[in-house]
Amino acid sequence: MRPAGISRSSRLVSTVVAAVVLGATGFAAPASAHLSAQRDAVGVTTMSVGRLGATVAVLLGLAGVVVGGLALRRPTGAGRRGGVPAVTAGVVGMALGGLVVASADGGVGTGNGRGGGYVALVVGLLAAGLGALALARRRRVG
């Protein structure tokens, strides 16, 4: 049984945000311990901490885009149920993408996640925009 007023997308986004926060905390210690060892470019198939952070940020932003798109498809009164999670996922995805870009040592193509961080910034901005549109449409009509 779920509490009244909590939608499936809200629970999904809050679960993903909690997993991202816990995952980022768990990866911060190994990343700081091996920072000097990751100065060189990594292999194509190697999953570095930067690549992992960028991937999580892009997936979170993509979840926000899907939820925001579904919120825009709904009747005008139901926009808040999907708009708030989409904005939240977009902002968190942009924050994680910005963190990856700011902490990457090398340029794009070195395996530090800088390219994925830029993609996460764009996808997160799109998710936040779709969520804001859903909220504005609901406010205007409802």
Tens of pLDDT along 79-121?
567 788 889 999 999 999 888 888 877 777 676 777 888 899 9
Q: What residue type is 37 in one-letter code?
A: A
Tens of pLDDT along 1-43?
555 555 666 666 666 666 665 565 555 545 555 554 445 556 6
Residue 108 is predicted with a pLDDT of: 75
Tens of pLDDT along 127-142?
999 988 888 876 665 5
- Which tokens go with 115? 């390219």
Distance between CA atoms of residues 72 and 50, nearest Å: 33
